[in-house]
Amino acid sequence: MIRFDAVSKNYPNGTTAVDELSLELAEGGITVLVGPSGCGKTTTLRMINRMVEPTAGTVSLRGRDIREVNAPELRRGIGYVIQHAGLFPHRTVLDNIATVPMLLGWNKKKARTRAAELLELVGLPAEMAKRYPNQLSGGQQQRVGVARALCADPPVLLMDEPFSAVDPIVRAELQAEFIRLQKELHKTIVFVTHDIDEAIKLGDNIAVFRTGGKLAQFDTPERLLAHPADDFVADFVGQDRGIRRLSFVNAAELPLRDGPVLPATAPVAQARAADEPWVLVVDEGRRPLGWASVAELADGGTLADASLTPLGHTFSLVGDSARAALDSALLSPARLAVGVDAEGAVVGVADACELSAGTTAVQAAAGEQASTEAESASSESRATVGKTSADTPGGGDR
């Protein structure tokens, strides 16, 4: 889809911003460019829409050298979102969104109708259409920026640190929304960030750059965490990459055991008979109510009378990752993670050791599979492997 062939960019002042980059980005996926400040991410991105011209090598889009296309025309077919949305202050929100259709010569009415659809798509109320950008919050402006980039339905979307200027809560919101949008739209997206967490959360594939504009590794998020190519990448992905890898293991694949689960109607004697320090009390639908400390139970009566310690949280076998499961174990007073099904009914429990062992087994199996596929397949199909599993962090890593 987008292909860099031995592309370099040297600035007249002697800076090498990008050095001999060869990279092929798969159609319909999110490729994240990540790396320390000044490593050439923005330069790489801007070489795709000719805002920066390479000094050597070729960039091609769908097999065509982009230098063959007139630059403004090329850009109208490529969405672009930047950090401080860069909205036009003199145009209303609706007209901002309608920018590219208007440039493409659509009539005004059609362009605005389309823009109104986009406003809804990015989750903004229709009455914002008539506002000016300075009447929006930063997060809202960023949404308008995304809507503007998508309005003419370009197949390719370039995003340069689009969420880094907003506070963490809004950022998480925008990221979740972005994942939802992409599931619907299947754009080919190149996304620049310097935040490795964001890269892992959003990327189907990640290109890690090192200072000097050199590509250090291009891989799926799991493989990047599991097999960093060198010390630089290992360092960059951070100390807790072991924990982060858990995001890619589906909680459904973890081994659970029955554990001490009792209904609230059970007599206290039955809890004592379980010979465990804690019992999990559930309602008639097996939905967890809380943990009861057996030592503190009054003699006689049922568990309904006991004062329960809150669960911390449970994890869902549909949608959550091993990371959520482990967190659930660590927060539980009984040190047991509680797995629930789609209805919220308890399926089983596991402690941190059991979860860790289960995760390792799953990862080992997945690793074998990935390496055999990698040997036999091109980078295109490797990107596909990344895509299926990248659904996990979005859903499970809350």
Ligand X SMILES: Nc1ncnc2c1ncn2[C@@H]1O[C@H](COP(=O)(O)OP(=O)(O)OP(=O)(O)O)[C@@H](O)[C@H]1O
Give the tokens for residue 302: 């049922």
Q: Which residue has the tokens 């003199």?
A: 90
Render the burial of 306-330: b for 16+ CB within 10 Å, e for the rest.
bebbebbebbbbebbbbbbbbbbbe
Q: Which does 80 bind (CB under 5 to 8 A by kind): Mg ion, ligand X, another protein, none?
A: another protein
Q: Is 75 near another protein (CB under 8 A)?
A: yes
Considering beta carbons, is residue 32 or 317 the nearer one to Mg ion? 32
Which range binds another protein by CB under 8 A, 61-69, 135-143, 372-380, 387-395? Answer: 135-143
* Interface mask toward ligand X for 11-30; x: CB under 6 A: x-x-x-x-------------
| DSSP letter, residue 55 | S
Hey, which residues between 149 and 188 contact another protein (CB under 8 A)?
158
40 is an interface residue for ligand X by CB under 6 A: yes
Q: How many residues interact with another protein (rule CB under 8 A)?
A: 33
Instruction: Return the residue of 10, 55, 83, 356 that touches another protein, per CB under 8 A.
Output: 83
How many beta carbons lie within 10 A of that of residue 120, not counting itself?
Answer: 12
The answer to whether 188 touches 156, Cβ cutoff 8 Å, is yes
**Closer residue to Mg ion, CB minimum distance, 209 or 278:** 209
Say if strands 78-82 and 156-160 run parallel, antiparallel, or are unpaired.
parallel
Residue 84 within binding range of another protein, rule CB under 8 A: yes
Minimum distance between the CB of residue 232 and ligand X, rounded to whole angstroms? 15
- Phi first, then psi: give them for residue 329, nearest 5 degrees: -65, -45
Paired tokens of 83: 């950090």
CA distances for 94 relative to 83, 101, 272, angstroms: 20, 12, 66
Closest CA to 323 of 359, 361, 362, 366: 359
338 binds, among another protein, Mg ion, ligand X, none (CB under 5 to 8 A by kind): none
Collapsed DSSP state (helix, strand, coil) of residue 243: helix
Q: Tokens for 206, please give them.
A: 């990640």
The yes or no reply on residue 89 touching another protein (CB under 8 A) is: yes
Binders of another protein among residues 39 to 58 (CB under 8 A) are 49, 51
103 binds another protein (CB under 8 A): yes
Cβ nearer to ligand X, comparing 44 with 316: 44
CB nearer to another protein: give 16 or 83.
Answer: 83
Instruction: Point out which residues bind ligand X (CB under 6 A).
Output: 11, 13, 15, 17, 37-43, 194
